[in-house]
Structure 1
Amino acid sequence: MRLILPLSLVLALSLSACSTIGRPVGNPSVPLPAQAVEVEAYLGTWYEYGRYEAPFQEGCEAVTATYSLEDDGDIRVVNACTRDGERDESEGEAKIVDGSANTRLKVAFFKPFYGDYWILDHGLQGADGLYDWSIVGEPSGTYLWMLTRQAKPDADLAMMLEARVKELGYDWSMVRLTRH
């Protein structure tokens, strides 16, 4: 099994601010996350609906991100995808930024290098107590991910995600939808 760089949390690998140099910026003024996040409602497995393509994600399909709470309060992150017919997986940890209402995290896949992970918006909690969608970005506007609880969201949710991404100031033409 090959170790891949972070999928839906790719920005967590940012070794420095230089990681975004030369990358297209899809949103020059990323808004701060607007609504608080209940950690328990964010845990579990997410399916990547779409993303801004990054070199380390090229060729990745069937992308998932699974979050679980550790005893120390940190969040275990497991990102996976299928590339060239093989399943790739990467494991990391996330720390919630104090005073962020759980909307901003620092994520590391290769310590001590942490990157920003901002939960810009999310859906309502369903009957299972979990959010049903999430839009994730980071301060540079270079990376963007849309996550859903189903591998293939219905047409209404897909349209809503596109509209919300645009409302947040992102360039939809840069979005690459993920095949599952």
Structure 2
Amino acid sequence: MPPMPSSQAVTAVADLDLSRYAGTWYEVARLPMYFQRKCTGQAIAEYTPNPDETVTVHNRCPGPEGKELSALGVARRPEPYARGKLQVTFAPRWLRWLPVVWADYWVLALDDEYRWAMVGEPRRRYLWILSRGPSLGHATLDALKAQAIAMGYDLTQLIESGGER
């Protein structure tokens, strides 16, 4: 599906402090990526900074028959000057030299206190609205959805799992 017409470009935040971004994030809403197709509930992501300036990414979610699904990956900054842009891979270490295994992971909006974040990729295919807790107030969620629409994201397939209504 082509991106929706937009009046605003997809842009990453100017600065992302990886040490403040580290920790647990709950997925409040998502435009699902392929690897999330079997998730039956809210996903949780753990980010752990590494000494080499990469970040270990551990995603998990409930799957069919109550079994937890889990994926372990790594994120990196592709450009030192574009601090809100990351790339993520869940490929084995021996394949990480291939550019095709890295996916764009741009932080598009971020609370000053790092309580919530909106993450997407520049082609507008995937989007995640994240919170430090399992839910996010409806006013904040609605504002983030409006910002995503303004950037051209089509939210008709958005899956919400943690909005307070």
Report the TM-score when normalising by structure 2: 0.81
- Give 1:45's match in structure 2, choosing from 24, 27, 32: 24
Quote the offset at 1:156 in angstroms.
2.3
Q: How many residues align?
A: 152
| Alignment check: 8 A CA contact 2:31 2:155 kept | no
- Give 1:163's match in structure 2, choosing from 110, 125, 146: 146
Matched with 2:103 is 115
Q: Output the amino acid matched with 1:142.
A: R
Q: Counterparts of 1:126-137 in structure 2 under 5 Å?
A: 131-137=114-120
Q: Which runs of 5+ in 1 are unaligned?
A: 1-23, 126-130
* CA distance in 1 between partners of 2:117 and 2:42 (Å): 17
- Give 1:56's match in structure 2, choosing from 35, 45, 56: 35
C-alpha RMSD of the superposition = 2.1
Give the 4+ runs in structure 1 shifted more than 6 A. Answer: none
Q: Counterparts of 1:3-152 in structure 2 under 5 Å?
A: 24-27=1-4, 31-60=10-39, 61-84=41-64, 85-110=66-91, 111-112=95-96, 113-125=101-113, 131-152=114-135
Q: Which runs of 5+ in 2 are unaligned?
A: none
Cα pair distance change 1:34/1:72, threshold 3 Å:
closer
* CA distance in 1 between partners of 2:158 and 2:119 (Å): 13
Report the TM-score when normalising by structure 1: 0.75
